[in-house]
A and B are shown apart, each in its own frame.
Chain A
Amino acid sequence: MHIIEDGNAAAALGVRLCRPQVIAAYPITPQTPVTEKLSEYVEEGSLSAQYIPVESEHSALAVCIAASSAGARVFTATSANGLLYMHEQVQWAAGARLPIVMCVVNRAVGAPWNIWNDQQDSISQRDTGWIQMYCADHQQILDTVIKAYWLAEKVSIPIMVCYDGYILSHTFMPFDLPEARAVDAFLPPFQPEYALNPREPANLNTVTLPDVRMDVHGELAHGYMEIRYLLQEDLRLALGAAAEMEKRFAGVFGREADPYLEPYRCDDADFVAVGLGSLTYQLRVSVDALRAEGIRVGVMGVRFYRPFPDEAIARALTGKTGVIVFEKALSYGYEGALASDLKSALYEYLGGTGRLPTVQNFIAGIGGREIHTQDLTDTLRAAIQARVSKEPAWIGLKL
């Protein structure tokens, strides 16, 4: 059934269909409507879950960590400084290998204070060991929430489902709301490999020595480094699990998608614009305009950002003349994080072949600065005609 709702409703409805058992969240603009809707669902009885009010984001994720350790399916959501405030617990959740799903409704971080959209919040959590998936419209928000639970529980790694604040969270558009039984067919109840049990007390994630050691059972136990190595290994293996996730999802819902990338008019393109989230859909309009001028350009959205699908990206960009990366965040002091990651992937797979595409980097929409489609079109055209002199170049800067 198609309904017209905003992006936060798409997220909340997706979460409800996944039947989480514990929800803990602290409201922050533009995430607030997600928490309001979920608390209403619990109140009216359409969602059978414990909704635990907390006094901060740090506590919200702490509650989720505890509940997930006890074997519950959990959910939280946040934005911007709320995400930064839970950063310690974000790291902990990944190290503890808990399959938490969290929506990050992307918003600029302070200072100065700003409530509007960019992606500095989730990008700043890139290296925490979470899987990060980015959405470009409401169908993707709803679908990605459902997929995320399957994948998180498959690989025991938490997932951030990221979508642009306001541009998606507060904008209404139609999307298909699946039947509960279809979601149940795709997503079985959470069955943890290990769950806390008061009758069998245990310590979890206490001080773990630099080296391996004999545990109380006389078995060789991992040191900290082995545990962290396995997180990295399993994150890389999650790329394969993501492919399985898409295949299973398409089998149940009939919506087929590439697990990592969303290319548009890229096959015969000489130049490809690359980005994360709704910006890549807006770029489609620019691509159409430039195609009408005879310029062979496409755009590719990166849906799966961590683990980074380096091989898929390098393959998709092989043979291209140039890549133009548009970002709503940057690694301050250098360039956009996606641009760096993408260059690294290209170097790895195409370095030394003499076929490395040029890579240019543009920053746009920081702190909600309006991104005019015409500006994107003009920027793209100019970047194709001649390399910009200073990178990263900021679009729409008024200095």
Chain B
Amino acid sequence: MKKDYLEIRWHGRGGQGAITAAKVVAGAAFSSGFAGVVMAPTFGTERRGAPVMTSLKISKTKIYDLSPIEKPDIVVVLDHLLLKEADVTHGLKPGGIIVLNTPMAHETHHFKDFKLATADVTAISVEAGLPHGMVNTGIIGSLERAANLLGIDLLIERIEEEFRTRRPEKNALAARLAYERTATGG
């Protein structure tokens, strides 16, 4: 990762595992020497299926500001249908990155002023042997392809650790396949 400070906002649905995904990236960042990692879910409104957000801040130094992210560098969207329900690009910095799980072709999505990375993480995860709808490890592969944060090997190592009792190989494979098949540019 080139920057000393980065803000990533995750958009998912309650129960989709966005918090766990952000936690995996947080752990990888900390073990790479980022002394400050803070991950904060939105509070009090979590319901299964409802749109939820999680903030992840990554810094070379300790983070003292725990307030929610206002101007993210990256937004990660675990379900393309959220585009209709939530303003996912709200506050996203010009030139910022959108990582999107979508079954639609890359060219069908248009975001002015932002860089887009897409993959059908839902299908890829099923191919990796995960139950339908489990996308929170695959999306980490897409995020790494899009933003070149911490190295896919380290992230997969952390995924295997986080999911050591829950299909570690399949989760790792989902991240690897998504990393390889994420489309960027345009």
Contacts and interface: CB of A to CB of B under 8 A. Distances in A.
Interface of A: 2, 4, 29-30, 115-116, 166-168, 170-174, 278, 281-282, 284-285, 368, 370-373
Contacts of A29: 44
A58 B148 CA distance: 53
A4 B30 contact: yes
A4 B64 contact: no
B23 A172 contact: yes
Interface residues of B, number: 20
8 A-B pairs with least C-beta separation: A172-B39, A281-B64, A166-B43, A171-B40, A285-B65, A284-B64, A173-B38, A282-B65
Contacts of B26: 4, 172
Given A281-B66, A370-B68, A373-B65, 19 more contacts: A2-B30, A4-B27, A4-B30, A4-B39, A30-B43, A115-B44, A116-B43, A166-B43, A170-B40, A171-B38, A171-B40, A171-B66, A172-B23, A173-B37, A278-B66, A281-B64, A281-B65, A282-B66, A370-B67
Contacts of B36: 173
Interface in B6-46: 23, 26-27, 30, 35-41, 43-44
8 contacts: A4-B27, A171-B38, A171-B39, A172-B23, A172-B37, A282-B65, A282-B67, A285-B65
Contacts of B63: 173
B124 to A, nearest CB: 27
Contacts of A284: 64
Contacts of A371: 67
Nearest to A167: B66
Contacts of B43: 30, 116, 166, 170, 368
Interface of B: 23, 26-27, 30, 35-41, 43-44, 63-68, 70
Nearest to B34: A174
Contacts of B67: 282, 370-373
A101 to B, nearest CB: 25
Nearest to B70: A372
A376 to B, nearest CB: 9
Contacts of B40: 167, 170-172
Nearest to B57: A173
Contacts of B70: 372
Q: Which of A170, A171, A173, A373 neighbours the largest number of chain B CB atoms within 10 Å of its CB?
A: A173
A316 to B, nearest CB: 20
Nearest to B40: A171
Nearest to B23: A172
A163 to B, nearest CB: 12
A285 B26 CA distance: 21
B44 A285 contact: no
B37 A4 contact: yes
Contacts of A285: 64-65
Nearest to A5: B23
Contacts of B27: 4
B38 A172 contact: yes
Contacts of A170: 40-41, 43
B158 to A, nearest CB: 10
Contacts of A278: 66
Q: Which of A4, A278, A370, A372 neighbours the largest number of chain B CB atoms within 10 Å of its CB?
A: A4
Q: Which of B30, B64, B67 neighbours the largest number of chain A CB atoms within 10 Å of its CB?
A: B64
A285 B36 CA distance: 14
Contacts of A370: 67-68
A114 to B, nearest CB: 9
Q: Which of B36, B41, B67 neighbours the largest number of chain A CB atoms within 10 Å of its CB?
A: B67
Contact of B23 (A4, A166, A368): A4
A370 B39 CA distance: 16
